[in-house]
Amino acid sequence: MNDFDQLIKTLSSIVLQSSPLMLAVCGETITERAGLINLSLDGTMLLAAMTGFIVGLKTSSLILGFLAATIVGMLFALIVAFGSIRLKQSQVAVGFVLTLLGDDLSAFLGQNFTRIPGPFVMKLGIPILKDIPILGPLFFDQDLVVYFSIVLVGLTWWFLFRTQPGLKLRGVGERPEAAFARGVKVNQLRYLYALIGGGLVGIAGAAYSLDVKLGWSEGHTRGLGWIALAIVIFGGWSPIRGAIGALLFGATKALATVLQQTFPQISVVAFNGIPWILMIAVLLVSTSELTERFINIMPISWRRPMRRFLRVSGPMALGTPFGED
């Protein structure tokens, strides 16, 4: 029984640890589904985490902290969108420079606020639901950030695949010419969804500094933005698959901690490599020709579900600017 309780506790901490990543993946999925790549995630999250923490600390208001982080995320997304839509510049280049700039800006602007205690999001169990065995402690005895990210994943999926505006969003990312011919304002929508996606990435940053990884220090969330970008691909640009990816990532980190205790003779450092090896492996499986070959030696009836499970393909017009004139 004790082991079981321990397992539930670990699992519920995995859900908590993964929730900011779920938010970031959701935001970037929305942006990329509309055909725009916001590569600046790593820098955006760092700057948003720093801003959210300082604003939250100075105003003693969590809401203002998250709001400030959202604005930071939207600002960076706006720069990427403006650069690629209006100025027709490479969005990868702009996004990459913003990644570095966000990192440096957060290190400089946050230098007087490192390693100090600040405000944090309180745990808020939902009555009755939290007493359900297993599911209760996992999903209903968490805090508002977790609830928000879970609801957001479902909502985004419903919006993308079950509503008219969601269809337009995907149309803009798949075949902008066709959407344009049908009277959809392609670039206007791309701006809109870039801003929404960027705002969510900003919230994800603040979710680290105010909830999951409390406080601020230089490079507080470094690397996690890139992980989120890889999970978007692994998730096949679907919010639900993306959320599962984020949870799996959280689970691997927890597993690494367990392995570390089991095999103390292996250097602690080696375990830090797991996420990155996983990142390459996961992208390799979802995009490589070898997977296709592997699927083709399987029995015919297995091929379709396996292909759906293993392979992904992105929005057709991803990363290509669209000229309305």
Partner 1 sequence: MRLRVWIRLTWPVVPVIMALLVTSIILILFGTSPKTAVGAMTEGAFGNLSKVLQVLGFLVPLMLSASGLLVTFTAGLWNIGVEGQIIIGAIMASWVALKIDLPTPLQITLELLAAIVGGAVWAGLVALLKTRGGVNEIFSGLALNNLAIILTNYLISGPWQPPEGGTFRGTQPFAENALLPLLGDSRFSPLSLVLAIIAFGMVVVALRGTFWGLKLKALGKNPKSAFLLGVSSEREVILALMFCGGLAGLGGGIRVLSWFDSLRQSISGGIGFLALLVVMLSSYQVFLVPPISFFFSAVLMGSTTLHLRTGLHPSLGGILTGVMVLFVLLFGDYGKLFTKRKKPSPPIVQEISHE
Q: Does 207 bind partner 1 (CB under 8 A)?
A: no
The smaller minimum CB distance to partner 1, of residues 257 and 272, is found at 272
Of 223-282, binders to partner 1 (CB under 8 A) are: 223, 226, 229-230, 233, 267, 269-270, 272-273, 276-277, 279-280
**Size of the chain in residues:** 325
Sole window of 52-60, 132-140, 221-229, 249-257 interacting with partner 1 (rule: CB under 8 A) = 221-229
The smaller minimum CB distance to partner 1, of residues 102 and 119, is found at 102
The smaller minimum CB distance to partner 1, of residues 3 and 325, is found at 325
SS3 316: coil
Q: What's the CA gap between 73 and 229, in Å, rounded?
A: 15
Q: Does 36 bind partner 1 (CB under 8 A)?
A: no
Q: Does 290 bind partner 1 (CB under 8 A)?
A: yes
Contact 118, 56 (CB under 8 A): yes
Q: Name residues whose C-beta falls within 8 Å of residue 214's C-beta, 6 or more positions apart in sequence.
A: 117, 118, 120
CA distances from 140 to 16, 89, 151, 154, 235 (A): 11, 45, 12, 16, 25
Q: Does 294 bind partner 1 (CB under 8 A)?
A: no
Q: Does 5 bind partner 1 (CB under 8 A)?
A: no
Distance of closest approach, residue 161 Cβ to partner 1, in angstroms: 19
Distance of closest approach, residue 153 Cβ to partner 1, in angstroms: 21
- The CA-CA-CA angle for residues 117, 249, 255, to 5°, reads 85
Token code pair at residue 121:
């999001």
> Pattern 157-196, binding to partner 1, x per CB under 8 A?
----------------------------------------
Q: What's the CA gap between 204 and 228, in Å, rounded?
A: 10
The smaller minimum CB distance to partner 1, of residues 11 and 77, is found at 77
CA distances from 88 to 215, 270, 321, 323 (A): 38, 43, 7, 9
- DSSP letters of 165-179? HHHHHHHHHH-HHHH
Sole window of 62-70, 130-138, 176-184, 316-324 interacting with partner 1 (rule: CB under 8 A) = 316-324
CA distances from 202 to 44, 153, 225 (A): 7, 16, 11
The smaller minimum CB distance to partner 1, of residues 158 and 309, is found at 309
CA distances from 141 to 12, 119, 228, 250, 313 (A): 9, 20, 25, 18, 36
Contact 178, 171 (CB under 8 A): yes
The smaller minimum CB distance to partner 1, of residues 14 and 79, is found at 79
Among 13, 61, 252, 320, binds partner 1 (CB under 8 A): 320
Of 88-117, binders to partner 1 (CB under 8 A) are: 88-94, 96-98, 100-101, 103-105, 107-109, 111
The smaller minimum CB distance to partner 1, of residues 13 and 287, is found at 287
List residues binding partner 1 (CB under 8 A): 37, 39, 79, 82-83, 87-94, 96-98, 100-101, 103-105, 107-109, 111, 218, 223, 226, 229-230, 233, 267, 269-270, 272-273, 276-277, 279-280, 283-284, 287-290, 312-314, 318-320, 323, 325
